[in-house]
């Protein structure tokens, strides 16, 4: 019997035994192929063994060699499934889809192949196709047990949350026998897509509780516990030296601790909670969550990348280098293929904004070009491209009046610049519409036009052309945005800033007295309070704001007797018409007296003496606070005490504060004090990372310097004492001479 036959017999025993070991099968198959390179059975066994060992590139190479052989196996469904799976694990999703679709044309596919094709559609962001295939798998019952059913439902809801988020709740309610953290996370993602952030937060908290139930030994149970824990507790539980760039997990014992396992599992949930808080404008909560995640370093690089995107959105203007470092980490070659298109464009968009703020226009242009290649129709791409186009227009600045060529070249005015911006926006919109072609819908064109209108207003604002910015906002086709209180207040503030107070008051009066699609009472009062603070008190337009308050009270009966609005009117009248202000104050006092006596309303009774005493105790006046020994020191008190020398001499004035000595004198760093001079020397950023030998040398030099200073101070003190002693001797010697004279 030849050597090949013996090895083939051994290989068949290894593949049919109860204890199958992939490494031994691969080794035996490799020995056969070294003797006979085109041995079909050995190639089949080697490819399967490599698949089980996770060596997908080597398995794909063996399958491609097997495809060149004349064997019916290369046309089987198993061969196509194995080859597609290798492409899938190597993130070659297009090749994997082509492999399975080629097999699909020859006949029906197995449940495993259909499941793999659905996963490929999902990774290619073809969410509708993936959801349709998962719906068929669930309807056909293509699962062996409840675990596989839960996995199918998880993938199904993940696909639906991206293409049809309104259907996810029904699937979770009707199809799922048991709610899992992943199912609830997908439901929360669908609620975020539908902008239902309160429901999404509640769902995420429920998913967090289910995830904590999986790790009963973990002392860390929720995000609230993690945020409340001290740095020492987190360091002990998660094994991360907080504030230091350590690797994920720390020691092996801590890396597998229940707290670390729970943190790695729930971290994506916490990132989603941070995003929900960001959309609800709770920046402080977002900052705390993101700092916790980035400090403790989750095992998922994608989770860290998404947290880095949120961090950059919060801290872009605060810390350029740290934000740039986070974005570079998110663009790592191992992380980038695992990001979705939304996450990828968010990384590129924040990078472009960072480069734009730093003045690196060339790098920003290259980043925007990359965005245009990958996402030509995205709104963020449109906005950045327009910003760069307007930056090019800014280079056409008017020449100085005293330049030689200014007489021959006309000066560009603000109207010319506005016309150029509008023309640039129109050209870009026409180009985008032409690029879309016949496939663009009317609704999509309207949405793009409205978005470009807002971008145009932003461009005028950056150029300081508030008049054209207001004109652009007034011409908005989206009436919902134009009627928002923030939009109206912004336009009124801009018009007041350019000096057109009448137009600002007319705009506010129109919106606050509107009968159709008007504001609520609370919104009206908030807008009026802003008008008094910003337009009257800050800019001095008391008369105009007073007329606005009167008009709003006349149009709305519920605000006519409102004490808060009337008090705002008193503030404005006190600066323009003092007599009218006193009359309004008298009206307020009469209403207050009527309320106290019970005559103003039948539903409210006058408070009793005990109730009044309780109110006084709860809100003590100046006399009560003086009896308790509390006295607020004001600037007037300090000036009076300084002017009254008699009181100060008798001890009745304010005591002089003793000036505290500095803990350490500031270093002379070329005229700039050391910003870390209050931190101990060993913990300063420019000292702690130095080698021990250099630290020792610095300590020696500092000790020598301190010793020199002490000796110099001692010598100066000794010299001063000696000079004083000599002076006393001279005085003593001169005294007899003076008496004799």
Higher-confidence residue: 104 or 543? Answer: 543
Beta carbons within 10 angstroms of residue 546's beta carbon = 24
pTM score: 0.63
Under a CB-based contact definition with an 8 Å cutoff, are residues 298 and 266 in contact? no
- Phi, psi of 672, rounded to the nearest 5 degrees: -115, 125
**Average pLDDT value for the chain:** 80
Cα separation, 482 vs 345, in Å, equals 28
Under a CB-based contact definition with an 8 Å cutoff, are residues 356 and 394 in contact? no
pLDDT band of 673, cuts 50, 70, 90 = low
Q: For tokens 């679709």, what's the residue? A: 101
Cα separation, 253 vs 86, in Å, equals 34
Average pLDDT over residues 196-202: 93
Cα separation, 710 vs 569, in Å, equals 68
Q: What is the token pair recorded at 532?
A: 């008094």
Percent over 70 (pLDDT), the chain: 81
Residues 319-372: tens digit of each pLDDT:
778 888 888 888 888 888 888 888 888 888 888 888 888 888 888 888 888 888
Say how many CA atoms lie within 13 Å of 7 toward its Cβ: 20
> Which residues on neighbouring strands pair with residue 18, listed in sequence order?
none
Instruction: Return left, alpha or beta for 734; rule: phi > 0 is left, psi -120 to 50 is alpha, else beta.
Output: alpha
Q: How many residues does the structure list for the chain?
A: 741
> Which residues on neighbouring strands pair with residue 672, listed in sequence order?
669
pLDDT given at position 582: 87
pLDDT given at position 639: 45
Check whether 203 has a pLDDT greater than 90.
yes
pLDDT given at position 394: 63
pLDDT given at position 422: 75
Percent over 90 (pLDDT), the chain: 23
Residues 174-186: tens digit of each pLDDT:
888 888 999 999 9
Q: What is the token pair recorded at 515?
A: 């009968």
Cα separation, 171 vs 159, in Å, equals 12
pLDDT given at position 657: 59
Q: What is the token pair recorded at 681?
A: 């020397």
Beta carbons within 10 angstroms of residue 681's beta carbon = 14
The number of angstroms, rounded, from the C-alpha of 309 to the middle of its chain's C-alpha atoms is 7
pLDDT band of 636, cuts 50, 70, 90 = very low
Residues 399-437: tens digit of each pLDDT:
444 444 444 445 556 666 677 777 777 777 776 666 666
Under a CB-based contact definition with an 8 Å cutoff, are residues 551 and 509 in contact? yes
Higher-confidence residue: 164 or 641? Answer: 164
pLDDT band of 671, cuts 50, 70, 90 = low
Check whether 678 has a pLDDT greater than 90.
no
* Sign of torsion over alpha carbons 545, 548, 553, 556: negative
pLDDT given at position 663: 52
Check whether 670 has a pLDDT greater than 50.
yes
E-strand spans in 48-130? none
E-strand spans in 628-722? none
Residues 475-503: tens digit of each pLDDT:
887 778 888 888 899 999 999 988 899 99
**Cα Dmax for the chain:** 143
- Phi, psi of 380, rounded to the nearest 5 degrees: -65, -35
Would you list the DSSP string of 535-571?
Answer: IIITT--HHHHHHHHHHHHHH-HHHHT-HHHHHHHHH
Instruction: Flag the least confident range among 37-51, 141-155, 384-398, 511-525.
Output: 384-398
Selection from 194-203, 384-393, 577-586 with the highest mean pLDDT:
194-203
Residues 321-332: tens digit of each pLDDT:
888 888 888 888
pLDDT band of 267, cuts 50, 70, 90 = very high
Cα separation, 573 vs 576, in Å, equals 5
* Sign of torsion over alpha carbons 136, 139, 144, 148: positive
> Which residues on neighbouring strands pair with residue 68, listed in sequence order?
none
Provide the residue ranges of all domains of the chain, joining segments of one domain with +: 195-278, 300-375, 381-397+414-464, 505-601, 683-726
pLDDT band of 729, cuts 50, 70, 90 = confident
Q: From residue 464, how far is each of 321, 385, 388, 458 by CA, in Å?
A: 29, 20, 17, 10
Check whether 591 has a pLDDT greater than 70.
no
The number of angstroms, rounded, from the C-alpha of 485 to the middle of its chain's C-alpha atoms is 25
* Sign of torsion over alpha carbons 257, 155, 150, 273: positive
Residues 89-127: tens digit of each pLDDT:
998 999 999 989 888 888 788 888 999 999 999 999 899
């Amino acid at each position: 019997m030849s050597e090949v036959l013996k090895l083939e017999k051994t290989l068949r025993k290894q593949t049919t035994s109860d204890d199958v070991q992939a490494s031994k099968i691969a080794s035996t198959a490799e020995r056969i192929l070294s003797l006979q390179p085109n041995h079909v059975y050995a190639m089949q066994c080697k490819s399967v063994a490599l698949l089980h060992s996770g060596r997908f590139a080597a398995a794909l190479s063996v399958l491609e060699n097997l495809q060149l052989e004349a064997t019916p196996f290369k046309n089987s469904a198993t061969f196509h499934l194995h080859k597609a799976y290798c492409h899938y694990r190597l993130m070659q999703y297009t090749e994997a889809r082509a492999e399975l679709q080629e097999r699909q044309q020859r006949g029906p596919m197995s449940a495993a192949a259909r499941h793999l094709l659905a996963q490929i559609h999902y990774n290619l962001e073809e969410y509708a196709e993936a959801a349709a295939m998962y719906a068929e798998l669930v309807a056909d019952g293509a699962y062996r047990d409840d675990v596989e059913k839960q996995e199918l439902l998880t993938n199904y809801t993940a696909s639906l949350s991206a293409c049809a988020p309104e259907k996810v709740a029904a699937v979770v309610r009707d199809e799922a026998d048991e709610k899992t953290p992943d199912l609830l996370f997908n439901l929360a993602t669908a609620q975020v897509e539908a902008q239902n952030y309160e429901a999404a937060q509640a769902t995420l908290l429920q998913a967090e509780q289910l995830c904590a139930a999986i790790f009963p030994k973990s002392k860390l149970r929720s995000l609230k516990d993690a945020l409340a824990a001290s740095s020492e507790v987190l360091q002990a539980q998660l094994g991360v030296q907080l504030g230091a760039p350590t690797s994920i997990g720390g020691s092996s014992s801590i890396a597998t601790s229940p707290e670390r396992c729970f943190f790695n599992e729930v971290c994506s949930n916490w990132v989603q909670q941070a995003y929900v808080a960001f959309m609800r404008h709770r920046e402080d909560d977002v900052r705390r969550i993101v700092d916790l995640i980035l400090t403790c370093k989750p095992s998922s690089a994608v989770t860290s990348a998404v947290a880095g995107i949120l961090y950059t959105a919060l801290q872009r203007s605060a810390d350029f280098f740290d934000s740039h470092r986070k974005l570079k980490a998110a663009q790592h070659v191992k992380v980038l293929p695992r990001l979705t298109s939304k996450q990828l464009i968010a990384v590129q968009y924040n990078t472009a904004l960072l480069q734009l703020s730093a003045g690196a226009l060339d790098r920003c242009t290259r980043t925007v070009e990359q965005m245009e290649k990958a996402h030509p129709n995205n709104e963020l791409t449109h906005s950045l491209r327009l910003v760069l186009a307007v930056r090019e227009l800014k280079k056409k600045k008017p020449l100085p009046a005293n330049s030689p060529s200014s007489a021959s070249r006309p000066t560009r005015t603000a109207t010319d610049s506005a016309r150029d911006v509008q023309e640039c926006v129109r050209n870009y919109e026409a180009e985008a519409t032409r690029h879309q072609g016949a496939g663009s819908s009317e609704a999509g064109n309207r949405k793009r036009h409205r978005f470009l209108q807002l971008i145009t207003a932003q461009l005028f604002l950056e150029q300081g052309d508030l008049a054209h910015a207001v004109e652009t906002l007034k011409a908005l086709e989206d009436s919902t945005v134009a009627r928002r209180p923030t939009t109206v207040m912004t336009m009124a503030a801009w018009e007041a800033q350019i000096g057109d107070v009448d137009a600002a008051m007319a705009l506010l009066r129109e919106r606050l007295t509107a009968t159709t699609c008007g504001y609520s009472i609370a919104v009206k009062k908030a807008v009026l309070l802003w008008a008094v603070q910003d337009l009257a008190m800050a800019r001095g337009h008391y008369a105009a704001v007073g007329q606005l308050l009167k008009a709003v009270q006349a149009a709305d009966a519920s605000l006519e007797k409102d004490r808060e609005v009337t008090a705002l009117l008193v503030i404005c009248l006190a600066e323009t018409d003092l007599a009218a202000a006193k009359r309004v104050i008298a009206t307020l006092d009469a209403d207050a007296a009527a309320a106290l006596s019970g005559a103003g309303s039948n539903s409210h009774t006058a408070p009793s003496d005990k109730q009044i005493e309780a109110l006084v105790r709860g809100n003590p006046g100046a006399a009560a606070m003086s009896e308790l020994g509390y006295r607020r020191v004001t600037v007037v008190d300090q000036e009076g005490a300084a002017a009254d020398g008699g009181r100060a001499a008798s001890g009745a004035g304010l005591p002089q504060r003793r000036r505290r000595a500095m803990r350490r004198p500031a270093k002379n760093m070329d005229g700039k004090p050391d910003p870390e001079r209050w931190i101990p020397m060993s913990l300063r950023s420019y000292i702690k990372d130095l080698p021990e030998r250099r630290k020792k040398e610095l300590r020696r030099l500092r000790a020598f310097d301190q010793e020199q200073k002490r000796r110099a101070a001692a010598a100066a003190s000794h010299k001063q004492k000696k000079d004083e002693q000599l002076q006393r001797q001279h005085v003593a010697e001169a005294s007899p001479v003076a008496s004799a004279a």
